Amino acid sequence: MYKIVRKEVLNQAVVLMEVEAPYVAFRCEAGQFLIARIGEDGERIPLTIADYDREKNTITIVFQTLGYSTKKMAELEVGDSFTDFVGPLGTPAPFHDDWKRIIGVAGGVGTAPLYCQLKELHRRGVECDVIIGGRSAEFVILVDLFKEICKNVYIMTDDGTLGDKGVVTKKLEELINAGEKYDHVITIGPLIMMKFVVQLTKQHDIPTSVSLNPIMIDGTGMCGGCRVTIDGQTKFACVDGPDFDGFKVDFDECMKRQGFFKQEEHECNLGLS
């Protein structure tokens, strides 16, 4: 069993948990994910690793309460345990030794896995900036943690209740036009957000990596549910990713696949809701 040692409700829809998982904590790297399960008949829930502590043998996860399973997960408290906590899965984020300065662009719960990557890059001596986006101030998360590892933290909200008003690409374009130079951009968040970030960075020839989290079931490449097209070739986000070269991703296809089961996600047919 995998015991919860810390729980923090970040806003009305997002919860942070620190979980004892020695094997995962010992082996994981930034960019990888895990699959959690509550109960023997529980749904398999893929979650990107938000942080890890090898000394404490813990993994930090951040998740949004959308469906039945994540709502049940949010009801767990410190001292409760997950039935399964499988990982690390996927491929570590592809960092390069020649990076001197990078900027991260995050939206929603994508802010959490981005933190894990920037924390590792900061540890390696890379200068990091970050742009964090949210619908309103309530949905902007982990700002204080980013301030510890980033030189500049820019915040964008749709309604202007925190930081500047507008989308994250607006701030990124302002920085680029002001002459700021970055070796690489890492963007994690909704597919539509990452698509527009890549469209912008491609215009300026700034290499960009994205994290893809389409439908996942087994997390080992067996089911094929997470197929994505990268540079015209079929890849599996769970074993070949989840991080890919954003310039090579077929975002339109990925968004269509993500919407295949949208109705089922909102209509529970299991008699559990």
Tell me the residue range of the domain where 11 lies. 2-89
Per the structure, the count of domains in the chain is 2
Please identify, among 89, 113, 148, the residue that sits at the C-terminal boundary of a domain. 89
Residue 261: its pLDDT value, please?
A: 54
Residue 39 sits in the same domain as residue 116: no
Q: Residues 123, 190: one domain?
A: yes
Whether residue 110 contacts residue 50, with contact meaning beta carbons closer than 8 Å, is answered with no
Q: What is the pLDDT of residue 222?
A: 77
Structure token digits, residue 149: 């590892």
Same domain as 207, residue 121: yes
- pLDDT at position 267, please? 46
pLDDT at 214: 65
Same domain, 35 and 123: no
What CATH code is carried by the domain that includes residue 81?
2.40.30.10
114 closest CA partner among 136, 132, 137: 132
Q: Residue 269: its pLDDT value, please?
A: 42
Q: What pLDDT does 215 receive?
A: 66
Cα separations (Å) of 79 from 1, 59, 84, 95? 11, 15, 15, 36
Does residue 247 lie within any of the structural domains? Answer: no
Segment-wise mean pLDDT, segments of 10 residues, the chain, 273 residues: 94 95 96 92 90 97 90 95 93 95 96 97 98 95 97 96 96 97 96 96 97 75 83 91 95 81 48 39
Q: Which of 159, 194, 211 is at the close of a domain?
A: 211
The helix (run of H) or strand (run of E) holding residue 117 is: helix 111-123
- Quickly count: other Cβ atoms within 10 Å of residue 36's Cβ: 26
> Within this chain, do residues 111 and 81 fall inside the same structural domain, yes or no?
no
Chain Cα centroid distance, residue 265: 20
Q: How far is CA 200 from the centre of its chain?
A: 20
For the four alpha carbons of 103, 210, 24 and 34, in that order, the dihedral sign comes to positive
187 and 108 within one domain: yes
Let me know whether 123 and 69 are in one domain: no
Query: Is pTM beyond 0.85 here?
Result: yes
Q: What CATH code is carried by the domain that includes residue 170?
A: 3.40.50.80
Q: Is residue 85 part of a domain?
A: yes
Q: Which two tokens stand for residue 115?
A: 């933190």
Query: In the listed set 45, 62, 89, which residue is the last one of a domain according to the structure?
Result: 89
151 falls within a domain:
yes
Please state whether beta strands 184-188 and 208-211 pair in parallel, antiparallel, or not at all (unpaired).
parallel
Name 16's bridge partners. 8, 62
Bridging pattern class, strands 152-157 and 164-165: parallel
> Is the same domain home to 127 and 63?
no
Does one domain contain both 171 and 85? no
Q: CB-based burial of residue 269 (10 Å sphere; 0-12 exposed, 13-18 middle, 19+ buried)?
A: exposed
